[in-house]
Amino acid sequence: MHALALLIAALLAFAISPWLLREMREQGHVRANYRGRALPFPFGLAIVVAAVLALIVLSPLQQLEVAQVLHPETLAVTAYVLGIAFLGLLDDLLGDTLAGAPRGWRGHWRAARRGQLSTGALKAAGATGLALYTLSTLALSTGRWLLSSAVLVLATGAFNLLDLRPGRAIKAFALLGAALTIAAGARALYSLGPFVGPALVAGAYDLRERAMLGDTGAGVLGALAGLWLVLTLSSAGLAVALAILLAITVYGELRSISALVERLPLLRHLDSVGRPSR
């Protein structure tokens, strides 16, 4: 029955997405993508809206013991993901106006040293606080709690670095989720289910260049990926994940991930799969 949460949330996302796309266009909530196409933005909101609607359906089923559709970890998942979605939305709405729109960790640090407020700094601080708090509800040892928090924060940020081309973030998320599920089973998938279903639907719109996820959606994908790692891996596995995420973060700060993808034929091919040719 735990798969029901994923299924219901995905169906709700599929149902509301055309309406949300239309409303965003009519209200002028669009932004030019890397090819200059004006697309509804930030479509990551579809993930949050569908997940919240799904919880309205699922929570009574759980409370009345009609069906066990939610895992205990879903509470922590929901708290973290909704918090990250809010911080991402704040960045999408105000990121181009506060502190001269600094980019990257160095840009946000320089803005902070000048006494200027940047949404990137708010996201970093907010993600750290949310990670420390929500993971404290999972009864982890102190060492694993700190390690898990670091993985969660870096994963959340890493997907913002990936979200520079249509579908890149959702492909990375789907591949990671599939690998973790094959290796360790579906329990973590079901804990994340109310958000994973809508994420896949919204990601399909992003891949086909019908909408842009924005930092709202990319942050949610990163939050889900980080939580998937935390709920699946051993401490040793988390240490390896932390090293990889740190390498991605540093590389994305100093170099262009898009340029790296273009230089490597396999990555370039995977990056282009499913994307409109023009």
Residue-wise pLDDT tens for the chain (278 aa)?
778 999 999 999 999 999 999 999 999 999 999 888 999 999 999 999 999 999 999 999 888 877 788 888 999 999 999 999 999 999 999 876 554 555 555 555 566 566 666 777 888 899 999 999 999 999 999 999 999 999 999 999 999 999 999 999 999 999 999 999 999 999 999 999 999 999 999 999 999 999 999 999 999 999 999 999 999 999 999 999 999 999 999 998 888 899 999 999 999 999 999 998 76
Q: Residue 23's pLDDT is what?
A: 97
The predicted structure's pLDDT at residue 224: 98
In a domain? residue 128: no
The token pair at 6 is 């994923």
Residue 246 is predicted with a pLDDT of: 96
Please report whether residue 112 resides in a domain. no
Overall domain count for the chain: 1
Is there a domain that residue 232 lies in?
yes
- Residue 248 has phi, psi (to 5 degrees) of -60, -45
pLDDT score for 14: 97
Residue 153 inside a domain? The answer is: yes
Report yes or no on 198 lying in a domain.
yes
- Position 97 in a domain: no
Q: Supply the pLDDT for residue 65.
A: 77
In a domain, 80, yes or no: no
pLDDT of residue 176: 98
Give a yes or no: residue 221 inside a domain.
Answer: yes
- Domain span at residue 37 reads 3-71+141-272
Instruction: With residue 40 as reference, give the H or E element that holds it.
Output: strand 38-40
